[in-house]
Amino acid sequence: MRASTMAGAILVAATLLLVVAVRDGHCAQLCMDSTFPRATNASLSFCGYNGTSCCNATDDAAVQKQFAAMNISGTPCGDVVKNVLCARCSPYAGELFTVTTAPRTVPLLCSTTGASSRLSSAAKPAAAAATATTDYCTQVWDTCKDVRVPGSPFQAPRGTAPSPAPRLTDLWQSAGEFCGSLGGAGRSPCLDGGGAAFNSTRPAALPLRGMCLERVGNGSYLNMAAHPDGSARVFLSTQAGKVFLAAVPPQGSGRALQMDAANPFLDITDEVHMDNEFGLMGLAFHPDFAANGRFFVSYNCDKTQQATCAGRCACNSDVGCDPSKLGADNGKQPCQYHSVVAEYSANSTSGTPATATSANPAEVKRIITLGLPFTTHHGGQILFSPADGYMYFAMGDGGSVGDPWNFAQNKKSLLGKILRVDVNTMPSGNTTAGWGNYAIPKDNPASADPSFAPEVFALGFKNPWRCSFDSGKPSYMYCADVGQAAYEEVDLVMKGGNYGWRVFEGPLPFNPPSTPGGNTSADSIDAIAPVMGYAHSSVNSNVGSASITGGYVYRSMTDPCLNGRYLYADLYAKSMWAGTETPEGSGVYNVSTMAFGCSKSSPIPCDFAAGSSLPSLGYIFSFGEDNAKDVYLLTSKGVYRVVDPAECDYACPVKSSAPGAGTPPPGAAPSSALRARAPALATLLAGVLLGFLCFSF
């Protein structure tokens, strides 16, 4: 590569990273609809936010109209209520209104203020000023407790019938009860009377020595899903098409996973076409599975072998390509293979789905059947968001070198995208989407930009291989995206975001070898740079290549020194990484190569390469997380669980909660998982839990 070309690549990469850091400002700003805040050309005339905001002029006018109807303008309480209403325009509105929970009409109100707090750069409305001696939540109570506010935004406690113009004293008995419901004690950010206040006291990062693993299973699996009932059970699926139900042993028990290998929970091997990049690729259980028995499987089929393998081809007139030319690189007919998402049920095998040990192998409903242009890059993972409850489907660009038809950048194609659909609201008759049995979430990008296919949530992916939601901050979705020949990346996925492929490969400009589908210029897209990743030249791969496997933000206290770090690995290489945002709020992630070892008390002995003390894991296919938030590696040589670092003689200054912590029994209520981690939560509240993504949680 010429020096000038290399310099240009470095400049583009640096510029992209700078854009992310500047855009994110103090922290990863997020609006209530999970989008990034937008630039404002001028101050919002009513709410007054400058620079960036989650409101536009129309939104600002709507807030003004809502406030005017309350008829409290010019009063002390009116100033307070205006500040509360305008918080939805803050660049941090998503966090102020806690996008991770049910919708709120009131932001988190700071329960304490003072010298330890620092404000965002958003312009402060001339509302009630925060003081260093009185917490803002109590100030709101004292100012408005006896004022009748028509259309009050303050949510009534459950079981309380609000009057048409309630006073706070009609809904709560005291300031303590009010702030217990709406206050943000210990949370960051919170509304402090002027803007978003951040807790400036952050725990120092614990040192990372290495990750200790124990081998708890021998099988080879692609997917793990925690049982939705909160118990100590997980589902594991093979590429061939079988799903198994396994009991997870307590940490420190010295026992392996318990499952009945002769009796799978589900066997659809007759429906699944398995090959190098084909098979049962995704597994997701409905959040209410314990009550409704619904679960979903993503797999590939061959239409020359099964009559039910038929659907709409991903390349069609909507995306402007010639289907007759597809498949030429592999000798197959175009759309011979399909990606399928289908619904199954455990209802017919048990009166209570949570106790079911097998499922009905007959498909309940075909959600989507998507014809594939080539034989590679299909992604295929499905997962439910804990923040909004919708199903997300990760689709690759469809294959061939360099995405020649430019599917990933074509907003009308479903390839190279993260899709988001609503499987709780089934359309009647023919779906308007034209692809399957689901509804479109009303706030998908197409609602604001009709050039998007309605299912698309984010675009610009080559082959997303393993996405996850951070259980400590469920609105954060991380996806690892496999590169072509130079760079592997991890993206923080936001609604409507464009992650660059095939204009960029990671942070590097990409020049496709063939472009029958046309090109997209870098200037025409607002590409979002990866937050983590690695160059192929930086890994010691055992096959001379690299392919990223995405993981999880570690949220267990089994290993306190891993807590808050995003863990990921390379499929082929003997490499794993842990990433954290450093410095906090910069938008830049510090990534460390991570050593790993085998526990001295591993239930199943680890394999070791000749002359090496490093356990031989084979191929690292995927990661998993159980209800206790412990993390697993699914490899070609078995299932490995992260355990107490002391088991590998790794030092961590905080004692692990693993010994004696236990795990909830099968069939336990979801809250049992929380109680089982009480020592960890106590440690968290003591300040040792690290929130490296943005804030401390």
Across 211-217, average pLDDT? 97
Instruction: For 436, list phi and psi in degrees, rounded to 5.
Output: 180, -165
- Collect all residues with Cβ–Cβ distance below 8 Å to 324 and sequence separation of at least 6: 334
Predicted local distance difference test score (pLDDT) of residue 349: 64
Highest mean pLDDT among 87-101, 151-165, 339-353, 473-487: 473-487
State the CATH number of the domain containing residue 275. Answer: 2.120.10.30
Same domain, 189 and 216: no
pLDDT digits (tens, 9 = 90+) for 514-569: 998 889 999 999 999 999 999 998 887 767 689 999 999 999 999 999 999 999 99
> Higher model confidence: residue 573 or residue 277?
277
Same domain, 390 and 468: yes
Residue 378 to residue 375: CA distance in whole angstroms: 8
Task: Cite the beta strand spans of 269-421 per DSSP E.
Answer: 280-285, 294-302, 312-313, 337-345, 360-371, 382-384, 391-395, 417-421
Same domain, 215 and 178: no
Tell whether 399 is covered by a domain: yes
Same domain, 176 and 274: no
Residue 224 to residue 244: CA distance in whole angstroms: 10
DSSP string, 550-610: EEEE---SSSTTTTTPEEEEESSBS-EEEEEESSTTSS-EEEEE--EEE-TT-SBPPPB-T
Same domain, 245 and 165: no
Nearest to 135 by CA among 85, 93, 186: 186
Tell whether 17 is covered by a domain: no
Q: Are 617 and 211 in contact (CB under 8 A)?
A: no
Q: Which of 106-120, 308-322, 547-561, 603-617 has the lowest mean pLDDT?
A: 106-120
Tell whether 1 is covered by a domain: no
Tell whether 131 is covered by a domain: yes
Same domain, 614 and 493: yes
User: 199, 229, 252: which is the final residue of a domain?
Assistant: 199
Same domain, 194 and 315: no
Highest mean pLDDT among 425-439, 561-575, 633-647: 633-647
Tell whether 45 is covered by a domain: yes
Domain ranges, residue 194: 31-199
Predicted local distance difference test score (pLDDT) of residue 195: 79
Contacts 24+ apart (CB under 8 A), 511-514: 512/401, 512/402, 512/403, 512/404, 512/406, 513/401, 513/402, 513/404, 514/401, 514/402, 514/404
pLDDT digits (tens, 9 = 90+) for 14-70: 333 333 333 333 445 678 876 778 777 667 889 987 778 889 888 999 999 999 999
User: Domains in the chain: how many in total?
Assistant: 2
Share the mean pLDDT of the chain: 82
Other CB atoms within 10 Å distance of the CB of residue 14:
12
For residue 182, what pLDDT band results from cuts at 50, 70 and 90? confident
Q: Which of 223-232, 438-447, 579-588, 660-669 has the lowest mean pLDDT?
A: 660-669
Other CB atoms within 10 Å distance of the CB of residue 64:
17
Predicted local distance difference test score (pLDDT) of residue 184: 77
Same domain, 41 and 175: yes
Tell whether 9 is covered by a domain: no
Q: Are 648 and 214 in contact (CB under 8 A)?
A: no
Sheet hosting strand 620-625, strand order edge to edge: 596-598, 211-217, 638-642, 631-635, 620-625
Instruction: For 672, list phi and psi in degrees, rounded to 5.
Output: -65, -35
Q: Whose structure tokens read 């994110």?
A: 24
Same domain, 555 and 628: yes
Across 482-504, average pLDDT? 96
- Calculate Rg over the CA atoms of the chain: 26
Other CB atoms within 10 Å distance of the CB of residue 261:
10
Across 686-691, average pLDDT? 32
Is residue 693's pLDDT more than 70? no
Nearest to 437 by CA among 421, 453, 450: 421
Percent over 70 (pLDDT), the chain: 78
Is residue 642's pLDDT more than 90? yes
User: Across the chain, how many H-helices and E-strands are there?
Assistant: 10, 34
Other CB atoms within 10 Å distance of the CB of residue 69:
10
Tell whether 524 is covered by a domain: yes
Is residue 91's pLDDT more than 80? yes
Nearest to 64 by CA among 40, 81, 41: 81
Same domain, 162 and 228: no
Across 375-391, average pLDDT? 95
Put residue 128 in one of left, alpha, beta given phi > 0 → left and psi -120 to 50 → alpha: beta
Predicted local distance difference test score (pLDDT) of residue 300: 97
Tell whether 613 is covered by a domain: yes
User: 199, 233, 260: which is the final residue of a domain?
Assistant: 199
Q: Are 191 and 83 in contact (CB under 8 A)?
A: yes
Same domain, 347 and 455: yes
Nearest to 663 by CA among 561, 566, 559, 556: 556
Predicted local distance difference test score (pLDDT) of residue 605: 96
> Higher model confidence: residue 322 or residue 417?
417
Predicted local distance difference test score (pLDDT) of residue 204: 60
Instruction: For 582, list phi and psi in degrees, rounded to 5.
Output: -140, 125
User: 164, 199, 234: which is the final residue of a domain?
Assistant: 199
CA dihedral 182, 187, 193, 194 (to 10 degrees): -140
Put residue 153 in one of left, alpha, beta given phi > 0 → left and psi -120 to 50 → alpha: alpha
Predicted local distance difference test score (pLDDT) of residue 617: 94
Is residue 684's pLDDT more than 60? no
For residue 644, what pLDDT band results from cuts at 50, 70 and 90? very high
Same domain, 172 and 230: no
Q: Which of 98-107, 228-237, 381-390 has the lowest mean pLDDT?
A: 98-107
